[in-house]
Amino acid sequence: MNETLAFTLELQQLQDFEFNVRFDWPGVAELRLDEPPPLGGSAGPNAARLIGAAVANCLASSLLFCMRNKFRQSPGPLRATVRGELRRNEQGRLRIGRFDVTLHLADAAGDIAHFNRCLAQFEDFCVVTESVRHGIPVGVRVVDAGGTEVFAADSLAGAQAA
């Protein structure tokens, strides 16, 4: 399948490093972006944080899709946390070094039918994470309501030990 789906966003500079983003979906609110000091005034998230949010949102949505749509489960609300790292490259320029995402379930993993099957495949359906991983390592954990880690992938363990 050689399908291309396009989208268009418009950014308009307001002042300094502050931009307004308009999305191509009717009714979607505009978003303010800004850099933290000393460059900007933190009037909104910066691009690195948006990428982190996009990765976490995509992973949570993919897991939810698997549980709800593929296996007809009714899980409680998911929560996601993202830890991002900025690192300097060989030229001293800041780059996103990695993201570690933890998905928190509202239910015990054992109470969700077919949950192990979802864990085995949900990342493959995540458009953003699987695209970002070509340049930024992304660790993923899923934690159930009791705090039990039920899934871990990539180099997350090394990041936690640091």
Q: Tell me: the pLDDT tens digits for 49-66?
A: 999 999 999 999 999 999
Give the span between the Cα atoms of 83 and 55, in whole angstroms.
11
Q: For 63, which DSSP code?
A: H
- Report pTM: 0.83
Q: What are phi and psi of 121, to 5 degrees?
A: -135, -15
Structure tokens belonging to residue 60? 């949570």
Hunting for tokens 């899980």 — which residue is that? Answer: 75
Distance in angstroms (rounded) separating the CA atoms of residues 155 and 147: 20
CATH architecture of 47-161: 2-Layer Sandwich (3.30)
Q: Which pLDDT tens digit goes with each residue over 85-125?
A: 999 999 999 999 999 999 999 999 999 999 999 999 999 99
Instruction: Determine the Cα–Cα distance for residues 61 and 157; give it in Å rounded to an integer.
Output: 23
DSSP 8-state class, residue 37: T
